[in-house]
Amino acid sequence: MFGIIRPCRNRLGPELRESWLAHLCGLCLALRDDHGHLARVVTNYDGLVISALVEAQVGRSRRSAGPCALRGMQSADVAVGMGARLAASVSLVLASAKVGDHVSDGDGVFARAPMRGVGRQVARRWAAQASETGLDLGFDTAVLVDAVRRQSSVEAAAGLGASVLTVTEPTETAAGEAVAQTAVLAGRPGNAAPLREVGRLFGRMAHLLDAVEDLDADRASGAWNPLVATGTTLDEARRLCEDAALGIKLAMAEVEFADDRLVHVLLAHELRESIRRAFGDPHTHSHSHGPGPHNPPPPPGWQPAPGMYPPPAQPGPHGPYGQPGPHPGSVPPPGHVPPPSAPGHGGPPDPPKGGRKGKRGDGPPPPGSGLWCWPKLKTPPVTRGAILGCLAVLYQCGTCQYCCRDPYPGPFSGKPREAWCNGCDCGPNCDCNCDCCGCDCNC
């Protein structure tokens, strides 16, 4: 799984956000309990969908967990049971394959021979642990391993004019079998066929969206990218993703659930958000980000739809609408956009002058201050070796940076990452606080 589902707390609402975090923590703790502390680094957003699907079919299953640094040293109820363990097994298989690929390519920390040996050992260990847990749950992870191993040969055979779906097929197969297994664990065999389709189309989307997000970097470095290799355009990639999202929605309607609210949000709504993040929003033309390779300007002759922008108003002493700052809920027309720190833009507040720290209760310090002054966010990102990277992991865990510092630098890559709990990508005027009760999914 590639981490394409990154829900905003405002879109989830309080109840579903609590449930989502319960599955995230449950996956992390299942990895720790079955495979040791090192395995917790493979915790990922998409893996927890496996746990959520099992619970959606059988009902809620929780246990109380003690304080954790990633929760601000708070205790919490976390998901427990076969769903969390299956999610852990799947995450380990895919992480093992990813480490193996990096070792083969000599990427990053695996550029040196000693670290390549360590990487191979870690990959073999994770694969063996995943197989052991899978067999304990009645799931043969060999189908996942086989799909992953076929990926390199499939990519080597792909060329210009070939269908990009031939490249995504191994990912589709692996994801389909993993998601179908949730029906077996839940004791609902009738759900296996539609859930296999859900997983297959999810794997297709994950592979394509990952390719789109890496497109510019792959072109710059000359790395292999399925869109470039097959000559697939961004318009065609978007069409395939939209079709897959619709197919997932239709397949989900055939599944018998006990409580589908969370998985409905994740697999119906959040997948649409992942498409918007990767390709941009065609309805607003992504005014807040301006033109770019994935964000082209409006076509010649384009006119805004009636009501898309607020009517012009005369400026006054308190702003054009008699209020400080932009009109609530308005969409700014194309043109110059003030930087996030500009007054009224809705970005983070300026840090206190003179470097003074805020008082207790004022919220977390801005990224890069206080205990978060290390590691620093740098442009371009600065990579770290194995020793410094491991120290960064331990320090960032202990100071809750993964959870609360947004963005925080990757411990090894140095690239900015979204905070696990504080990420919000729906704009300063977000009003999408919805728990999807009674949702007719006409979005």
Residue 162 and residue 62 in one domain: yes
Residue 275 lies in a domain: yes
Number of domains within the chain:
2
3-state percent breakdown (helix, strand, coil) of the chain, nearest 5: 55, 5, 40
C-alpha separations of 81 from 87, 140, 144 in Å: 10, 18, 21
The confidence score (pLDDT) of residue 431 equals 47
| Domain stop point among 279, 297, 317 | 279
Residue 303 lies in a domain: no
Residue whose structure tokens are 């592979």: 207
Please state, in angstroms and rounded to a whole number, the distance separating the CA atoms of residues 47 and 44. 6
For residue range 231-284, what is the model confidence (pLDDT) as tens digits?
999 999 999 999 999 999 999 999 999 999 999 999 999 999 999 999 987 665
| Domain stop point among 239, 264, 279 | 279
Residue 209 and residue 109 in one domain: yes
What SS3 state is found at 254? coil
Element (H, E) at 117: helix 113-136
| Domain stop point among 258, 279, 300 | 279
pLDDT at 351 > cutoff 50: no
Residue 382 lies in a domain: yes
Sign of torsion over alpha carbons 111, 116, 120, 122: negative
Q: What domain range is 411 assigned to?
A: 367-443
Please state, in angstroms and rounded to a whole number, the distance separating the CA atoms of residues 394 and 29. 17
Residue 288 lies in a domain: no
Residue 82 lies in a domain: yes
Token pair belonging to 27: 């996956």
Residue 251 lies in a domain: yes
Please state, in angstroms and rounded to a whole number, the distance separating the CA atoms of residues 317 and 314. 10
pLDDT at 179 > cutoff 90: yes
Residue 150 and residue 249 in one domain: yes
Q: How confident is the model at residue 188 (pLDDT cuts 50, 70, 90)?
A: very high
The confidence score (pLDDT) of residue 42 equals 87
The confidence score (pLDDT) of residue 297 equals 46
Predicted TM-score of the model (pTM): 0.68
